[in-house]
Amino acid sequence: MANESIVTPEFRACFISVFKATSMMNANGTASEPKFSVRAAFPPKADLSGLKELAKKAALDKFGDKIPKAMRSPFRLNEELDNPVASIGDDWTIITFSANADRRPGLVDANLQDIISEEDVYSGAWFRAQIRAYGYDKAGNKGVAFGLQNLQKLRDDDPIGGGRTPANKAFEAVSSGAKTAGSLFD
């Protein structure tokens, strides 16, 4: 059961780091171990039943029939976050998928071609992920998390969460009046 993986419904990526593992600041001011990660924002009508079932199986695998009452859930509404994602509704479900620094996730586009340019991957684009769930009991924290295996970018959209606006959306086209190479011979 621990190696079972599924492909998620589509989501908008937030705080995506899949080219370089990054550290996050812990509540006590120390840096966490570097990880590859993406915060997935699922619209309110997304069918998350497969993810919930996978999380339930992982909790049962880890804790048996003694699932802790105060177990941390990987499913959070945007409005519940200490740092909510800008530009999406409070009722969107947010789930973080991550991978250890030595396990960079695979990354392909909608046509299954490898994505090699970091500019093609940003907060706001739509993705789906191959993930697996696992239970944890570490330093007094008990819960279920999702391991990121692979990502597929489905389509572009406006940047969210403070991401940089693409250049082709930042400017309006202007006519320079300059001649093109082809028009020099007319």
Q: What's the pLDDT tens digit per position in 129-175?
A: 999 999 998 878 899 999 999 999 999 999 986 555 666 666 788 87
Q: What are phi and psi of 185, to 5 degrees?
A: -100, 10
pLDDT, tens only, 76-87: 999 998 888 888
pLDDT tens per residue, range 93-139: 999 999 999 999 999 999 999 999 999 999 999 999 999 999 998 87
Supply the pLDDT for residue 166.
61
Stated as kind and residue range, the H or E segment containing 22 is: strand 11-22
- Catalogue the E-assigned strands of 101-178: 106-108, 126-138, 141-155
**Quick check: 107 and 179 in contact, CB under 8 A?**
no
Lookup: tokens for 125: 């684009």
Residues with Cβ within 8 Å of 154's Cβ and at least 6 positions away in sequence, in order, are: 10, 110, 125, 126, 127, 128
φ, ψ of residue 72 in degrees (nearest 5): -75, 135
What is residue 55's predicted lDDT score, i.e. its pLDDT?
Answer: 94
Q: What is the pTM of this model?
A: 0.81
Q: Is 5-185 CATH 2.40.50.140? A: yes
Strands (E) in the chain, as ranges, are 5-7, 11-22, 35-42, 76-77, 93-100, 106-108, 126-138, 141-155
Q: Give the number of other CB atoms < 10 A from CB of residue 74.
A: 20
State the pLDDT confidence band at 5, using cuts at 50, 70 and 90: very high
Q: Stretch 34-60: mean pLDDT, rounded?
A: 95
In angstroms, the CA 57 to CA 144 distance is 10
State the Cα–Cα distance between residues 40 and 127, nearest whole angstrom. Answer: 8
What pLDDT does residue 125 have? 96
Q: How many residues does the chain have?
A: 186
47: pLDDT strictly greater than 90? yes
User: Residue 1's pLDDT is what?
Assistant: 45
pLDDT at position 186 is 56
